[in-house]
Amino acid sequence: MVVLSVPAEVTVILLDIEGTTTPIAFVKDILFPYVKENVKEYLQTHWGEEECQEDVSLLRKQAEEDSHLDGAVPIPAASGNGADDPQWMIQAVVDNVYWQMSLDRKTTALKQLQGHMWRAAFKAGHMKAEFFEDVVPAVRKWREAGMKVYVYSSGSVEAQKLLFGHSTEGDILELVDGHFDTKIGHKVESESYRKIASSIGCSTNNILFLTDVSREASAAEEAGVHVAVVVRPGNAGLTDDEKTHFSLITSFSELYLPSSA
């Protein structure tokens, strides 16, 4: 087994989710299809609720910002006189969600609606989040060694908490000290990692970031964060240069903490 020694100054381990703690197949084959298959019914059921209308307003605002993009799907503004046909409006939102998802977009508006849909599904027991079998034992060990563990994902903080709160391993939210999403910045921008360090109250070189995406790893590295790229089944392949440049692990159990020796 390859062992990667964690630098002594590291006190925080920052985790990506998709392709790192959780199989990409769970996200691609279960989470996202659930949204596509159920978004219309969800909107019809919750249309009159304040939270749903807030989600729609955010999507409409995003649609206005996207109006210059090729193939962008508009969401008309409500007239406010009660004469609007909700089915027509709902269909516009559904079409916009489909369009954004077809481009694998990570907009806050889309993530917020998806997060609310997943919350309903998890709480109803319709699904449980999958984690790689090495994740929970390793995170417990890190915490016993005094490490702080944070999550940074393009999925909303609310969606992250749902995954950790309704997992095949039970409720494992207690293993996470805090959560970050794209509200702090995008994962391919180095400034995001500086902001995370500032928010946690540590230096960037006190953080070890685990991700499967080389562009995220490069951005974190640029900010002075330690990085290991996680190679999992179903993840995108790495170039030879990336394999040479980054420290690679195939399991969290391959991380060696000098402090826990």
154 is in an annotated binding site: yes
Place of tokens 């729609």: 56
181 is in an annotated binding site: no
Place of tokens 């299809």: 33
CA distance 247 to 232: 14
Does residue 190 contact residue 219 with C-beta atoms inside 8 Å?
yes
Tokens of 238: 């790495």
Smallest CA-to-CA distance from 248 within 24, 235, 258 is with 235
Cα dist. 140→22, 136, 145, 252 in Å?
16, 6, 9, 11
The SS3 of residue 256 is strand
64 is in an annotated binding site: no
Q: Sheet holding 178-180: strands in order across? A: 178-180, 148-152, 12-15, 207-211, 226-230, 247-249
Cα dist. 72→83, 103, 155 in Å?
26, 11, 22
CA distance 155 to 105: 11
CA distance 256 to 29: 33
18 is in an annotated binding site: yes
Q: How long, in residues, is the chain?
A: 261
Q: Which residues does the annotation place in the binding site for Mg(2+)?
A: 16, 18, 212
Q: Which residues does the annotation place in the binding site for substrate?
A: 153-154, 187
Q: Which residues does the annotation place in the binding site?
A: 16, 18, 153-154, 187, 212
